[in-house]
Structure 1
Amino acid sequence: MKKIFLQQIILFIFLIEFSFASSTTKEIANELVKEDSFYLKQHSTNPIFWQPFHENLFNKAKKQNKLIFLSIGYSTCHWCHEMNRESFSDIEVARILNKHYISIKVDKEELPQIDFKYQEKYREFKNKNGGWPLTVILNHKKQIVFLGTYLPKNSLNETVGLIETLQKYAKQNEKNSLKILKKSNQNIKKTISNHEEAFVKTMLERYDEKFHGFDKQNKFPLTSHLNFLFDLHLLNKDETLKTIVLNTSKTLINNALQDHIQGGFYRYSVNQNFTFPHFEKMLYTQAELLALFYRLYLNTKDETYLKAIKNTIAFTNKYLQNKQSLFYSAVDAKEKYYLYDYEKLYSFLEENEFENIEEELEKIAFDEFGNLSNNLNLVKKEILNKDLKALLKEFREKENFPFIDKKIITSWNAMMISSLFKISTLDKNYLKQAINSLDSLLKNLYVKNTLYHQKVENKTPLQEALLEDYVFLSEALINAFLKTYENKYLDLAKKLSFFVNENFYKDKTWFYDKEKNYKAYFSDRHYSSPISIHLNNLYSIANLNYDLKLLESTKIKIQEQKQKILNDISRFPNALRLFTRIKHQDVILKTNKNNLLKNKKLIETIKYPYLLTQVENTKNYLACDEKTCFYYDIDLNKVIESIDKL
């Protein structure tokens, strides 16, 4: 009898082991299979009992005496894929997580408020920026015990692995000896008399004189920083700042951050000299660079910027735009797709009877040992030989195109639409596209006076909008007004902006959600801070409507945050931009609608960075500040001359 009982126990244990082992070859869905998010679905067959984020999971953790394992990422994130392959698909990792943790997966693009919260915590605790995947361990009181990014499965040299980390905190929790993470240092109150000089000083220290851009590795475009530096150049005639902005922008265009075959810009450079990109292409990256390059083109007439604009528009329209004139969020970082094996490429070119192969490949820095690694080559500069470029594109397309995340995110679409309006003087088709896309966005995501954060194609949007959606949509509407002078756009921008004030602000604090669970931040991270853009929007709306009450209340709102901003000044260029707008004041150029529309190109030659245009029933051109008009003439050129003297 005992023998039979023992056999039954052994069989039972075997079946449990088999069920875990089989999950490596046989997919077993967890709670994420019910979600719409592409990122969450990528983890729906992990052997881990993943659950989507919900506040009641912290109560569950308390009842079961478990820790929270919070993993934040997105569908086109390379290191998220690596951690999934190496750790989250692994049985040993799954056993530890399922036994000791409540495991939560968050798509940062679906719930950006949660990502922003813990990215900001990472900076507070570590005194440096985080990234993705973001790995957080918390107790049921939401106190943080561990913060990290990518972790290898097993410890490697000085890098502690995921398994060791999970076991360490599970053991502490069982013994009631859990240690709460403490901040690395406290903020030091700084006294800064001139925020512009302080910002410039900090950025000059960060500037890479040899390779351009800022910092030494993981070099992002930092579009907001470049824009504000260019503002300061225009205001102060500072040629050093102009050189920094132009050199950095041309480096972004001419080196490997731009895809010279199919267009579009990668998210950032892994190395210092912009020759090794992180290969994902984000919609917001394209949007912000388009506006910057157009601004630089207007000021320099350098065709380099114009060509980059056209290549980027071609990329977004072909690969990211859907039939409803809306835009998908990102293209995956599929490194293999963008790299060329020298021998295979050489054979392919021979088959296609391409001449002078070695000589032409040498011109684009391709060689048999590889210009990146292991015989692999990356196109790192513009290809002048059109036949070679066409064949490189054909060779690349033999590989499946990288995964496209087809989420339609309101804020990111609005950013792209804003840029289309800004560059629309270049080509009337850009204006037509911007209007069509804006109309489609409002039709699909602003339903019965309710704005939504995102939608998946052919599905009804369910998640209501967050702060950034209202803000960037308002910005797009303001830009629509400034190109068409249709009051409906400005009226809706005002309505949405006032809604933000009423629903996302309380006791001098801004929130990412209407429920006010997640604080919003002024820092310009991977794209512009929604609070800073919102306050800039309010300032524009106030000056376009001559609303002095709104003007003063906006000044008060930015002043409330001044000390926080000055404590780490280089993180807040869009907030600093508003301080500078207030200091120098906007100029509002006014005349009749017909004059404004027919003189768009001439008006765009004005150098003063803080210019708005508004309709006034007069044949004259009036240059006004916030409270008075200081110059007028029937001759637009004379008015422009007076403005540029400011």
Structure 2
Amino acid sequence: MTNEATENRLGEALSPYLLQHADNPVAWQPWDREALAMARTLDRPILLSIGYSACHWCHVMAHESFENDEIAERMNAFFVNIKVDREERPDLDRIYQLAHQLLTGRGGGWPLTVFLDPASHAPFFAGTYFPPEPRHGMIAFGDLLERIHQVWSTRREELRQQHLQVQEALQAVATPRPGGEADLESALESLTAEAGARFDRDNGGFGGGPKFPQAPLLAALAEIEGEHPAQMLGDTLTAMARHGLHDQLGGGFFRYCVDAVWEIPHFEKMLSDNALLLGLYARAARRWQRRDFQAVCERLVEWLEREMSLESGGFAASLDADNKDGEGAWYVWTRKEVAERLTSDEQELFSARFGLDGPPNFESEYWHLVIARSRGELVREDLSEAEIDRRLESARKRLLEARQERPAPGRDDKMLANWNGLMIENLAVAGRLLGREDWLEGAAKALDSVAVNLFGQEPPRAVWRGGRSAQTALLDEHASVLAACLELLAWRFEVRWLNLARRIGRRIVGQFADETSGALYLTPRDYESLLTRPLAHADDATPAGAGLAVVGLARLGHLCGDPALVDAAHKAVDAARGDIERSAMAHATLVRAWNSLEHPRPQVLLAGPDDPVAEWHRKLAATDRFDVYRLGGDLPPDDLPESLRPLAGKREAVAMACLGQRCLPPVESLKALESQLASAGG
């Protein structure tokens, strides 16, 4: 065993992030039984390092410390060193990020550095980035290793008493808290008030710098009636689209901005953020008839297809912030570089539009593009809006082509079931609302890839790369892929997608729901033993799995006539009410799910010949007011739930509306259906 502790075992990893550390002099281990047994046998603490491929400071710490022979020698002598990709193991990341907060009183981040007891895996010290020498009040990483080793050798029992308290606190957080008397209306009011208290009225978004999109919160605000939620949503979407969070040339959004005014981002791009923002902008474009929001969607999907698509179908996880020339080097410009690529007419207009006629905003010598002037401000007597648009688009394409010639940032090309599920759902939403059949086809191809490569196994898997899959799918994966299935079923009713959705619904209830309370956990019942079993209630950068699952279970239950699924959704919300009462904003997806349970969207089932049913389907689906499913005449009745079989094979056009678990009489014209829905309040 002692010899094994000196060997780096990451060379066979699936994760690009782990492979980046396979040549380190550190004897890195993956989180597996062998590594955990090694720590127990050697009686050494575990040094757990969690990060991800696109993380800038993860790269910095790797270069400064993990490639340093002297520091690696201490790591190998004192610890069993385990490297984890947070995107592969969000369960471990969630547990130890919370432990960091309990130990330090501060929020965590990446890289996350935690020292664990080898027997219990309980943490006794936690931090994030550490420099190789003392800097800005931070201890040098090598010195920290010496100090941890000394404390472990001399004060072990004291440490064990401390981490017992941490274990107890983690277990308390993982226990459903009973709710009081609060109802949905008070939860919606609390969410709006909490968001309003944090809302930046000058710049949009919530809080100061660093500033994140907070897409789950925006999605909840989008479904709350009233002027204030609409203002917070609209102002934030406008600010993010105009400024530096948005890639003005290539489309898509960066992870976050370091300042309060959305000007300079950390330049990594995550599939998850872009999935959620695509759906938000598509719905807002439809709601407010905003052509600029539609353009954001178009550019985002162009980026998705150009830089994130995988040959097998599906989408890559992320793009690094850095290329070989440094952080952000792929994205920023000098005036000279712009002048070399554009005509004089294009250069003048482009510089005025994107602020190159002002001082540089990045490292005192470069420009990161933000919209400095509206199109209206650029109009003059000899320059129409149409000509402005033509010149700006020509300039954008020229500069994008020039950017593609630069050394590209690294791409993490693993396919994550959760993030792909989010993108498939939102790509389908955008395709439906903005009339882009090609986007729907792309979403369908991606879903089929996820279904075969990840959910074609038992149990379903979370990660796929290069023909290999890894990691058991957690609740978040199940919930997002269920949402993707349901959204595509609303476009084209394929039995394979219905069967996958039903299988996922059964697994969520059977594997993730607490048998007593109905609370939804992140990990399945038959999963490996961890320090604690986390609940899936709180949002982070992505929506809480419990909230997504509630929406999916209720929608699937209504579609298939399965009251058990709807009941499970209600129990899950009831079990989370205590957490919602304590902080509605932190549980925005669950509040949104609760709202959808109490006020379900009308469901419309269409059957019969293409003419006129195809036109009915197109008109109803584009309103975004109903869940509309068109049951084609070629569907075998035996493959459908019993509630849908009477509609299969209809020779005449028929529509049936259901409000929750109550269905209205079938009608034979769109006008009659619209009248029926209006009378029922749909």
Note whether the superposition's TM-score is higher than 0.5.
yes
Q: Structure 1: which amino acid aligns with 2:93?
A: D
Distance 1:423 1:341 in 2: 31
Question: Cα 1:107–1:205, aligned 2, differ >3 Å: closer, same or farther?
Answer: same
Cα deviation, residue 272, structure 1: 0.7
- Aligned residue for 2:503? 495
The aligned amino acid for 2:571 is: I
Counterpart CA distance in 1 for 2:440 and 2:179 is 45
Q: Alpha-carbon deviation of 1:123?
A: 4.0
Q: Which blocks of at least 5 consecutive residues in structure 2 are unaligned?
A: 1-5, 376-388, 632-646
Specify the code of the residue in structure 1 equivalent to 2:366. Answer: L
After TM superposition, list the pairs within 5 Å mapping 1:9-158 onto structure 2: 30-126=8-104, 129-140=107-118, 141-158=120-137
Counterpart of 2:578?
563
Pick aligned residue for 1:263 from 251, 263, 269: 251
Deviation at 1:599, TM superposition (A): 2.5
Partner Cα separation in structure 1 for residue 424 and residue 569 of structure 2? 25
State whether residues 492 and 630 of structure 2, in contact with CA within 8 Å, keep that contact through their aligned partners in structure 1: no
Amino acid at match of 1:297: A
Query: Once the two structures are aligned, what percentage of the paired residues are identical?
Result: 22
Counterparts in 2 of 1:142-541, with a 5 A limit? 142-177=121-156, 178-179=158-159, 180=162, 191=180, 192-193=182-183, 194-233=186-225, 238-334=226-322, 335-342=327-334, 344-345=336-337, 348-349=340-341, 354=344, 357=347, 360-366=350-356, 370-381=360-371, 385-425=392-432, 426-447=435-456, 451-457=460-466, 459-507=467-515, 508=517, 510-513=521-524, 514-515=526-527, 517=529, 518-541=533-556
Contact persistence 2:187–2:580 (CA under 8 A): no
- Deviation digits for residues 446-478 of structure 1, max 9, x if unmatched? 446553222222x23354433333322222111
**Kindly tell me: are residues 525 and 612 of structure 1, through their superposed partners in 2, closer, same or farther at Cα, counting changes over 3 Å?**
farther
Q: Distance in 2 between matches of 1:612 and 1:394?
A: 41
What's the offset of the Cα at 1:398?
Answer: 3.5
Aligned-residue offset at 1:563: 1.1
Name the CA distance, whole Å, in 1 between partners of 2:358 and 2:77: 50
Question: 1:604: how far off?
Answer: 3.8
Retained in 1: the 8 A contact 2:8–2:27?
yes
1-side partners of 2:541 and 2:252: how far apart?
17
- Structure 1 window deviating more from structure 2 (542-551 vs 617-626): it is 617-626
Deviation at 1:107? Answer: 1.0
How far has the Cα of 1:554 moved from its partner? 2.5
Whether the 8 Å contact between 1:590 and 1:614 is mirrored in structure 2 is yes
SS of 2:329's equivalent in the other structure is helix
Matched residue, 1:23: none
| CA distances 1:349-384 after superposition (whole Å, capped 9, x unpaired) | 5xx663585675244212585222231111113895
CA distance in 2, matches of 1:106, 1:452: 17
Q: Is the 8 A contact 1:452 1:464 kept in 2?
A: yes
Tell me the residue number matched to 1:624: 658
Structure 2 length normalisation: TM-score?
0.82
Give the secondary structure class of the aligned counterpart of 1:484.
coil
Note the C-alpha offset of 1:291. 1.3
* Offset of residue 623 of structure 1: 3.8
Match of 2:125, SS?
strand
Partner of 1:5: none
Give SS of 1:337's match.
coil
Specify which of 592, 596, 602 is matched with residue 587 of structure 1: 602
Alignment check: 8 A CA contact 2:16 2:412 kept? yes
Deviates more, 1:400-409 or 1:525-534: 525-534
Question: Cα offset for 1:139?
Answer: 1.4
What's the secondary structure of 1:424's corresponding residue?
helix
Q: Which amino acid aligns with 1:528?
A: P
Shift of 1:125: 4.5
**Alpha-carbon contact 1:30-1:45 (below 8 Å) kept:** yes
CA distance in 2, matches of 1:475, 1:359: 43
Whole-angstrom distance in 1 between the partners of 2:347 and 2:504:
58
TM-score w.r.t. length of structure 1 = 0.87
- Give the direction of change, closer, same or farther, for the CA distance of 1:247–1:483 in structure 2 (3 Å limit): same
Per-residue CA distance 1:298-355 (angstroms, 9 max, x = gap): 2112111211111111111111112222211111112343344536426635xx6635
**Stretch of structure 1 that moved more, 367-376 or 315-324:** 367-376
Query: Deviations for 1:373-424, whole angstroms, at most 9, x for unmatched residues?
Result: 2311111138952343234324433421111111122222222221222223
Structure 2 residue corresponding to 1:546, chosen from 550, 556, 561: 561
The structure, 1 or 2, with the larger RCO (C-alpha pairs under 8 Å, 6+ apart) is: 2
2:619 aligned to which of 602, 606, 616: 602
Secondary structure in structure 2 of the residue aligned to 1:217: coil
CA distance in 2, matches of 1:538, 1:455: 26
Q: Is the 8 A contact 1:475 1:537 kept in 2?
A: yes
Kindly state the Cα deviation for residue 436 of structure 1 after the two structures are TM-superposed: 2.3
Deviations 1:177-214 (A, max 9, x none): 55336669998988544211111111111111111011
SS in structure 2 of the partner of residue 338 of structure 1: coil
- Runs of 5+ in structure 1 lacking a partner? 1-27
What letter is aligned with 2:617? K
- Cα distance between partner residues in 2 of 1:416 and 1:216: 28
| Corresponding residue number in structure 2 for 1:3 | none
Count residues with an aligned counterpart: 610
For residue 549 of structure 1, report the CA deviation from its aligned partner.
3.1
Q: 2: distance between equivalents of 1:631 and 1:253?
A: 45
CA–CA distance in structure 2, aligned partners of residues 482 and 322 of structure 1: 25
Distance change (3 Å), C-alpha of 1:451 and 1:348: same
Paired residues of 1:341 and 1:376 also in contact (CA < 8 A): yes
Could you say if the C-alpha distance between residues 120 and 598 of structure 1 is closer, same or farther in structure 2, counting changes exceeding 3 Å?
farther
Partner of 1:16: none
Deviation at 1:256, TM superposition (A): 1.1
Q: Distance in 2 between matches of 1:124 and 1:572?
A: 20
C-alpha separation in 2, matches of 1:58 and 1:462: 18
In the TM superposition, residue 275 of structure 1 has moved relative to its aligned partner by 0.5
1: CA distance, partners of 2:72 / 2:21: 12
Q: 1:356 to 1:202 in 2, by over 3 A?
A: closer
Secondary structure of the corresponding residue to residue 88 of structure 2:
coil
- Cα shift at 1:71: 0.4
Change (3 A) 1:557 1:218: same
Checking the alignment, whether the CA contact within 8 Å between 1:484 and 1:597 is kept in structure 2 is no
Give how far 1:248 is off.
Answer: 0.7
Measured in 2, the distance between the counterparts of 1:33 and 1:607 equals: 48
CA distance in structure 2 between the aligned counterparts of 1:504 and 1:79, rounded to whole angstroms:
34
